[in-house]
Amino acid sequence: MSTVGDYVSRIEGTCGAESDIIVNFRFEKKDEAIKNILKKATLKNTIAGIIFELNYEGVSFRLYASGKAIFRGFKTKVDLMHFLAKLLL
Amino acid sequence: MDIQSIRQDFPILNRQINGNPLIYFDNAATTQKPRQVIEAITDYYSKHNGNVHRGVHTLSTEATDLYEKSREQTAKFINAKSHSEIVFVRGTTEAINLVAYSLGCSNLGRGDEVLVSMMEHHSNIVPWEILSKCKGFTLKYAKVHDDGTLDYQDFESKISNKTRIACLSHVSNVTGIINDVKRITKIAHEKGALMLVDGAQSVPHMHVDVQETDMDFLAFSGHKMLGPTGIGVLYSKKELLQKMSPFQGGGEMVKEVSCSQDHCAISWNEIPYKFEAGTPNIAGAVGLGAAIKYLSDLGMDNVFAHEKELTKYAVNCLKDCNNVTLYGPSELSKKCGIIPFSVKGFSSHETAAFFNEYGIAIRSGYHCAQPLHQIFKLDSSARASFYLYNTASEIDCFVEILKELNG
């Protein structure tokens, strides 16, 4: 059975008060991760065909074609992991 | 300078990122390495690797010669009076910590003051904050104007006869503003204070002359000037280094350790070795020497002029872009190749991630300078920073992509 760790190589909390959280997908699984996310989340907008502005369960975030997603508003990485599990698996 | 020819020296510039040629605009964070530096390190490990000093075998002698040659090159590069005024450290952060702990532990206490500015990198704030709590001295902060320029009047008025050391970035790592460190040094000296200059963003980009400015300490990093990571420099005047206590203890920094059961007598090695405990980063120093040779051959005035041109060109292109805000002074003569900016509707990280999709590397965050971002009323900023291998056509590409982000 797949886990979030199968798709995600690294999660980094950024510096600064706005505290974005950057999720890097594993290179070999990024296309599958993007496909899974696009299947579940609602597409609000695309920018230049490489940024997808999405919403899932009230959470807005941006997904990048090269295999990154940037989230905001999660208090902890654990909360984000729960969210990613719903989104990816 | 022949930029196209220079670019041939940097193998990494041939890389593709996300299917696009790399455009590297994150030079304030670290710089790329020319093959001359890469080859110097490879050559050292392939042919000369040995531990430095007090070795009688050939490899040790060769390693020592290369290590000390780099020290001499470094001294010449910043016009130090003597190579013994050059201490090799890990980087700017360690250099500042060395001064803070060496001076702070034995010379600073209640009633003393240390002055820093609000534009400093955290590496020129945090060591002093930590130490002020232990030693009881007062850490004062000089103001910065809304455009990020130093409030000279405030800085100068806060240097008193209680000030033991004043600390200032030569060039801000956020805005690229060039501070008049000669002027501040003169005032510090008139009040009997020492002057520490954070040269992390100046030494790689312009001619810095420690004798002409008369600064007491200059800290800088090798990796921001084409050299490898893990090597940096603390310059200080000979007479100061001789008076200062060691920062770290261990081998190399002692002349004699004589112990009985209840007593140990230690005498320090001569400068600069007193401050270089343990086996140093020999390959790093060799790489730094190669980087200094590369920069010296190009001429620092040429490097500076090229970056000034790029900055002027980029600011002119960017200032009319919709939804883009530039930070820092409008007068470009006061700054060098660093441009902080934000794009409406995007966090700095989202902006940087967007550029990365096109192979353009910029930095996002608060660049270890949160107090300055508070002055700008920003959580973070995006930052493009240039170096000698960047071109105007790369800036054109950057601006085009920025326009796409704006729709």
Q: Tens digit of pLDDT for each residue in B362-381?
A: 999 888 888 898 888 888 89
β partners of residue B381: B365
CA B249/CA B273 separation, integer angstroms: 11
Could you tell me the pLDDT band of residue B358, with boundaries at 50, 70 and 90?
very high
Q: What is the pLDDT of residue A77?
A: 85
Q: What is the Cα A73 distance to its own chain's centre? A: 13
Q: How far is B380 from chain A (nearest CA, A)?
A: 6
Sequence-distant (≥ 6) Cβ neighbours of residue B235 within 8 angstroms = B78, B80, B85, B86, B87, B210, B217, B218, B219
Residues present in chain B in total = 407
Q: How far is B400 from chain A (nearest CA, A)?
A: 12
CA A64/CA A45 separation, integer angstroms: 12
- Is B357's CB within 8 Å of A51's CB? yes
Q: Does B336 qualify as catalytic in the annotation?
A: no
Q: How far is A17 from chain B (nearest CA, A)?
A: 5
- Is A14's CB within 8 Å of B354's CB? no
DSSP assignment of chain A equals ---HHHHEEEEEEPSSTT--EEEEEPGGGHHHHHHHHHHHSEEEEEETTTEEEEEETTEEEEEETTTEEEE---SSHHHHHHHHHHHH-
Structure tokens that stand for B378 in this block: 């920003």
Q: How far is B405 from chain A (nearest CA, A)?
A: 7
Task: Write down the residue that tokens 């980094």 correspond to.
Answer: A12
Structure tokens that stand for B308 in this block: 């000034």
- Set of chain B residues whose Cβ sits within 8 Å of the Cβ of A51: 350, 354, 357
pLDDT over 70 at A17, yes or no: no
Whole-number Cα distances in Å, B325 to B68, B346, B363: 47, 12, 16
No. of helices (H) and no. of strands (E), chain B: 14, 17
CA atoms within 13 A on the CB side of B330: 3
B170: exposed, middle or buried (Cβ count in 10 Å: 0-12, 13-18, 19+):
buried
Which among A14, A17, A66 is the nearest to B357, CB-wise? A66
Buried b (16+ CB within 10 A) or exposed e, B263-298: eeeeebbebbbbbbbeebbbbbbbbbbbbbbbbeee
pLDDT over 90 at B105, yes or no: no
Q: How far is B373 from chain A (nearest CA, A)?
A: 9
Q: What is the pLDDT of residue B291?
A: 98
**CB interface of B with A, residues 4-43, below 8 Å:** 18
Q: What is the pLDDT of residue A19?
A: 76
Backbone angles phi, psi at A6, to 5 degrees: -70, -30
Q: State chain B's mean pLDDT as an integer.
A: 95
Q: State chain A's mean pLDDT as an integer.
A: 91
Total-model pTM? 0.94
Interface residue of A10, A18, A60 to substitute, partner B, most B CBs within 10 Å: A18
Structure tokens that stand for B165 in this block: 């050391």
Other residues' Cβ atoms within 10 Å of the Cβ of residue B157: 12
Could you tell me the pLDDT band of residue A20, with boundaries at 50, 70 and 90?
confident
Q: What is the pLDDT of residue B252?
A: 86
Which among A20, A65, A66 is the nearest to B347, CB-wise? A20
**CB interface of A with B, residues 47-76, below 8 Å:** 47-48, 50-51, 62, 64-66, 68, 70, 72
Nearest CA in chain A to B19: A66
Which ranges of B28-87 would DSSP assign to H, the alpha helix?
Answer: 35-43, 58-77
Q: What is the pLDDT of residue A13?
A: 83
CA A82/CA B182 separation, integer angstroms: 55
Nearest CA in chain B to A70: B350
CA B366/CA B372 separation, integer angstroms: 9
- Set of chain A residues whose Cβ sits within 8 Å of the Cβ of B347: 18, 20, 70, 72
Amino acid letter, B252 = E
Reported as type and span, the H/E element at residue B102 is helix B92-107
Nearest CA in chain A to B404: A48
CA B135/CA B140 separation, integer angstroms: 15
Interface residue of A22, A66, A68 to substitute, partner B, most B CBs within 10 Å: A66
Sequence-distant (≥ 6) Cβ neighbours of residue A34 within 8 angstroms = A25, A63, A65, A67
- Is A14's CB within 8 Å of B380's CB? yes
Give per-residue pLDDT as tens, B208-225.
Answer: 999 999 999 999 999 999
Q: What is the pLDDT of residue B262?
A: 87
In this structure, are residues B75 and B85 in contact, taking their beta carbons and an 8 Å threshold?
Answer: yes
The region that residue B181 occupies, defined by phi over 0 for left and psi between -120 and 50 for alpha, beta otherwise, is alpha
Other residues' Cβ atoms within 10 Å of the Cβ of residue B192: 12
Which among A18, A47, A72 is the nearest to B380, CB-wise? A18
Please state whether the peptide bond connecting residue B272 to the residue before it is cis, i.e. omega within 30 degrees of 0.
yes
pLDDT over 80 at A15, yes or no: no
- Set of chain A residues whose Cβ sits within 8 Å of the Cβ of B365: 14-16
Q: Does B153 touch chain A (CB under 8 A)?
A: no
Task: Write down the residue that tokens 């850490």 correspond to.
Answer: B139
Mean pLDDT along residues B92-96: 98
Sequence-distant (≥ 6) Cβ neighbours of residue B317 within 8 angstroms = B395, B396, B399
Interface residue of B323, B344, B347, B401 to substitute, partner A, most A CBs within 10 Å: B347
Q: What is the pLDDT of residue B121?
A: 93
Q: What is the Cα A83 distance to its own chain's centre? A: 9
Q: Does B366 touch chain A (CB under 8 A)?
A: yes
Q: Using DSSP bridges, classify how beta strands B86-89 and B232-236 pair: parallel, antiparallel or unpaired.
A: antiparallel
Could you tell me the pLDDT band of residue B46, with boundaries at 50, 70 and 90?
very high
Give per-residue pLDDT as tens, B10-42.
Answer: 999 999 999 999 999 999 999 999 999 999 999
Reported as type and span, the H/E element at residue B107 is helix B92-107
Interface residue of B355, B357, B400 to substitute, partner A, most A CBs within 10 Å: B357
